[in-house]
Amino acid sequence: MIDLYTAATPNGHKVSIVLEELGLPYTVHALSFDKKEQKSPDFLKINPNGRIPAIVDRANGDFAVFESGAILIYLAEMTGKLLPADPKGRSVALQWLMFQMGGIGPMQGQANVFFRYFPEKLQGAIDRYQHETRRLYEVLDTRLQDVEYLAGEYSIADIATFPWVRGYEWSGVPVDGLTALQRWMATMEARPAVQRGLLIPERTDDESVVKGAQAMLIR
Ligand SMILES: N[C@@H](CCC(=O)N[C@@H](CS)C(=O)NCC(=O)O)C(=O)O
């Protein structure tokens, strides 16, 4: 059994989607940013970085994993699914996974901060992060003109990338003209496991939780 520590954010959704795709049983622990539960001493023992997502594998000596990309690799290797077995295919999948972890996540995350939450309107910062995110989307689009999924076959690279790209409107980043990216998004959205994963954890309408999440994103 896997314990999943998460919140309704793109990085959290990566892990609930992969768990749904793999059909692994898991227990959801929804952390409240408003209550700073991600910084509690108990949670810092699981993720020293004090952020979601993290998992604890109860069937493997309570082994804890943090960083969403590392969690996806751990679960794919554990099950032998969603990551090609041959060295070249595996490398291609990991390249696109790293592209998301080092590029789209940080750039789009900062686009959200400066476009949505930052107390001052810093147009230079907004432009910088939105344009860089669009540039990274164009790299994805070019790739997806040649292949159905980022690694050729469906993999953890798609699962890592989709929860971010689907938020393009919220980030103020247009996807006009990126027809291959739009086709891929529609394919991803149609997957039942993706739809289930996006509902984890249950959304709350508690405004204080939303404010708390925004405060965390600013830092
Ligand atoms: N690189 C990390 C990023 C994790 C991250 O930034 N998580 C955000 C939510 S998407 C978070 O926990 N924010 C709360 C905070 O910063 O205290 C990963 O991919 O797991």
Q: Residue 209 has what pLDDT? A: 42
Is 110 touching ligand 1 by the criterion CB < 6 Å? no
What's the rounded Cα separation, in Å, for the pair 82 and 130?
A: 30
Strand order in the sheet with 54-57: 26-30, 2-6, 54-57, 63-66
Dihedral angle computed from the Cα positions of residues 124, 129, 131 and 137, in that order, rounded to the nearest 10 degrees: 180
Structure tokens at 91: 């490398």
What is the percentage of the chain residues whose pLDDT exceeds 90? Answer: 92
Summarize the confidence of residues 132-142 as an average pLDDT. Answer: 99
Q: Which of 51, 72, 161, 164 to mutate to test the pocket of ligand 1 (most atoms within 8 A of CB)?
A: 51
State the chain's mean pLDDT as an integer. Answer: 94
The atom number, within ligand 1, closest to the CA of 9 reads: 10
Band of pLDDT at residue 216, cut at 50, 70 and 90: very low
Give the residue among 34, 53, 35, 8 at the shortest CA–CA distance from 207: 34
The atom number, within ligand 1, closest to the CA of 101 reads: 19
Summarize the confidence of residues 108-136 as an average pLDDT. Answer: 98
Domains of the chain: 2-81 (3.40.30.10), 87-195 (1.20.1050.10)
What's the rounded Cα separation, in Å, for the pair 21 and 30?
A: 20
63-66 and 54-57: which strand pairing?
antiparallel
What is the percentage of the chain residues whose pLDDT exceeds 70? Answer: 93
The atom number, within ligand 1, closest to the CA of 69 reads: 19
Q: What angle do CA 28, 47, 79 make, to 5 degrees?
A: 60
Is 108 touching ligand 1 by the criterion CB < 6 Å? no
CA 136 to chain centre: 15
Is 29 touching ligand 1 by the criterion CB < 6 Å? no
